[in-house]
Amino acid sequence: MSTDTEPTNDPSRAINAEPVSEWLSANIDGAVGPFTFDFITGGHSNLTFAVTGSDGARVVLRRPPLGSVLATAHDMAREYKIISGVGQTSVPVPRALGVCEDEAVNGAPFYVMSYVDGVVLHTSEDTDASLPEGDIRSTLSEAVVKVLADLHRTNPDDVGLGDLGRKEAYLDRQLKRWRTQWEKSKTRELPQMEEAYELLVEAKPEQHYTGIVHGDYRLGNMLSNPVTGSVDAVLDWELCTLGDVLADVGYLLNNWSQPGEAMQEGPAGAATEAGGFWTREQMVDAYCEQTGFEVANVEYYRAFQSWRLAAIVEGVLARYLKGVMGDDSVDTDQYKLRVEGLATETLTLLR
| pLDDT (tens digit per residue) in 16-62 | 999 999 999 999 999 999 999 999 864 457 899 999 999 999 999 99
pLDDT at 71 exceeding the cut of 50: no
Percent of the chain with pLDDT strictly greater than 90 = 80
Q: Do domains 11-114 and 124-350 have the same CATH topology?
A: no
For the residues 292-297, what does the mean pLDDT come to?
Answer: 93
The whole-number pLDDT of residue 326 equals: 59
Nearest by Cα to 332 from 134, 187, 227, 167: 187
More reliable by pLDDT, 67 or 46 = 46
Mean local confidence (pLDDT), 122-126: 93
Smallest Cα–Cα separation from 147: which of 302, 291, 272, 308? 291
Q: What is the pLDDT of residues 196-247, one digit of tens each?
A: 999 999 999 999 999 999 999 999 999 999 999 999 999 999 999 999 999 9
Q: Check if CATH label 1.25.40.10 holds for domain 11-114.
A: no
Given pLDDT bands bounded at 50, 70 and 90, which one contains residue 194?
Answer: very high
pLDDT at 6 over 50: no
154-176 confidence digits (pLDDT tens)? 999 999 999 999 999 999 999 99
Tell me if the domain spanning 124-350 has CATH number 3.40.50.720.
Answer: no
pTM of structure: 0.89
Sheet containing 47-52, strands listed edge to edge, beginning at the edge strand earlier in sequence: 36-39, 47-52, 58-63, 110-114, 96-100
* Rounded-to-5 percentages of helix, strand, coil across the chain: 45, 15, 40
Task: Assess whether pLDDT exceeds 70 at residue 82.
Answer: yes
Q: Specify the DSSP element, H or E, that contains 52.
A: strand 47-52
Averaged pLDDT of the chain = 90
pLDDT value, residue 46? 84
